[in-house]
Amino acid sequence: MGGDLEPATLIAAYRHGLFPMFLQELEGVVVWWSPNPRGILPLDSLRVTRSMRQSAKRFDVRVDTCFADVIRACGDPLRERGWITEEFIDAYTTLHKLGWAHSVEVFDRAGQLAGGLYGVRINGLFAGESMFYSQRDASKVALMSLVRVMRETGMTLLDVQWRTEHLESLGAVEVDRERYLALLAEALASPALQP
């Protein structure tokens, strides 16, 4: 517990398998997490249904065109168990400006932001932080697009923090901390290409 959300602190944390979250009970205190087991989504295990493929045709996907809008939508205070505060938004927006944090954005045919996700990229690692949708399947389309970009650029590890029921339905699995740290070391050593 404790510390700050400065860029160097955040990147060092991700390099060591940690990520920050605020707990509502500990107002204003950063808590650093390294779950055991850890949720990951193997890139070759993403479950893409026929309906997801059909939904993808209704949307336009972009990368890093409106990071602030995506993180704000993920941090909507009306969302259940919301933990993304203004301090987090400021910290990750700074990371985005420095080239570490990225967003995948899904727009409908009218040009409205319908869903998306954001996270931190270090070499072959993408540490997914949060995703949202305002239209059915939009966050799934964002995830499909992220996995495609990761595969095309030689990235190897998609960290989803915890295996929730929703993420499990999309192919997420759990690995123990020792296995996660080995996968992390491989991903950090990977000379992945820029998208």
pLDDT > 90 fraction of the chain, expressed in percent and rounded: 79
When pLDDT is averaged across residues 77-84 and rounded to a whole number, the result is: 69
The pLDDT of residue 118 is 98
| ∠ CA 165-23-133, rounded to 5° | 45
CA–CA separation, 32 and 26 (whole Å) = 12
pLDDT digits (tens, 9 = 90+) for 24-37: 666 667 889 999 99
CA–CA separation, 117 and 66 (whole Å) = 11
DSSP 40: E
- Mean per-residue pLDDT of the chain: 92
CA–CA separation, 85 and 91 (whole Å) = 10
Considering the domain 37-189 in this protein, what is its CATH number?
3.40.630.70
The pLDDT of residue 80 is 64
pLDDT digits (tens, 9 = 90+) for 105-145: 999 999 999 999 999 999 999 999 999 999 999 999 999 99
Neighbour order of strands in the sheet with 101-107: 60-63, 101-107, 113-122, 125-133, 157-161, 38-40, 173-175
Give the pTM: 0.93
Query: Is pLDDT of 82 > 70?
Result: no
pLDDT digits (tens, 9 = 90+) for 161-186: 999 998 999 999 999 999 999 999 99
Query: Is pLDDT of 195 > 80?
Result: no
DSSP 109: T
Least confident of 15-19, 84-88, 106-110, 189-193: 189-193
